[in-house]
Structure 1
Amino acid sequence: MLGYLFLAVAIATEVVATTFLKFTSGDNPKWWAFVIVVVGYVASFFALSLALGRGVPLGIAYAIWSAVGVAAIAIISWVFFKESLTWVQIAGLVLVIGGVGLLELGAKHPA
């Protein structure tokens, strides 16, 4: 169970880092955003490695990490940056999350 807590931390820090990438681009990049991005990605990979070390299978961990991250970034981009999110894209996100759910459901867990 501790492995999944580390996985949640990995997801959260990756989502923060990816969100702040928005502030590192354009005509007026913010220096502090680069710091958040680097620290966030380092923390994310560190937490992901801890999740793997606590028994979360690599395929499951990466699938959950990437799918939840993609969905969260799409929603954050829509809410905070007013980027488009069509019904087709929403359906794709639902399918991605559903696919990860099926991977987890089909995994063999020790008793």
Structure 2
Amino acid sequence: MKNNPELINNQINEYCKINIITCILIGVRMGWVYLVGASIAEIFFALSLKYNEGFTKLIPSIVTAVTGAGSFGLLILAIKTLPLGTAYAIWTGVGAAGIAIAGIFLFKESIDIYRLASIALIIIGVVGLKIFSNE
């Protein structure tokens, strides 16, 4: 039996009359929610690479596998409704900026003005992509 889009929309509208909070959350666009989750998982994935020491430590290696798969899985869900270029750029940008900031705090990496300006430019680019996205 094929899905009838009109029937599905009617069912959603009826559901939303009953459960408005869920519908507001769905209205935020689940693609963006998935993309935020994918970006956060990407940061933990990159961090776990530092700690697994070439996959010689079990727990960090498991974290690497789980967060890597989770990040890709959530990105796949996000690009079902978001433009691929926008989603991928935001995913990589948030991951890059997040891991750079984590490196400053966790690994005492340099905090020179050029590094901070570069991180700021990545963040500005990510925000710009979100603001000017059609979604």
Q: TM-score under structure 1 normalisation?
A: 0.85
Name stretches of at least 5 consecutive residues in structure 1 with no aligned partner: none
Residue 104 of structure 1, CA deviation: 3.4
Residue by residue, what CA displacement relative to the aligned partner does 1:44-87 show, whole Å, maximum 9, x if unpaired? 0000000111x111111011111111111011111112122321
The 8 Å contact of residues 3 and 50 in structure 1, kept in 2 or not, is answered as: yes
Compute the displacement of 1:37 (Å).
0.5
Count of residue pairs brought into register by the alignment: 106
State, as a whole percentage, how many aligned pairs show the same letter. Answer: 36
Tell me the distance in 2 between the aligned counterparts of 1:101 and 1:9.
16
Residue type matched to 1:43 in 2?
G
Counterpart CA distance in 2 for 1:7 and 1:100 is: 12
Whether the aligned pair in 1 keeps the contact of 2:45 and 2:67 (CA below 8 Å) is yes
In structure 2, the partner of 1:15 is 43
> Does residue 42 of structure 1 match 2:49?
no
Letter in 2 for 1:59: G
CA distance in structure 1 between the aligned counterparts of 2:133 and 2:102, rounded to whole angstroms: 30
State the SS of the aligned residue for 1:48.
helix
Aligned Cα root-mean-square deviation (Å): 1.6
* Partner residue in 2 for 1:80: 106
Write the distance in 1 (CA, Å) between the matches of 2:114 and 2:87: 26
TM-score, normalising length from structure 2?
Answer: 0.71
Q: Report SS of the residue matched to 2:51.
A: helix
| 2:103 alignment partner AA | S
Larger radius of gyration: 2
Gaps of 5+ in 2: 1-28
Offset of residue 30 of structure 1: 2.1
2:130 equivalent to 1:104:
yes
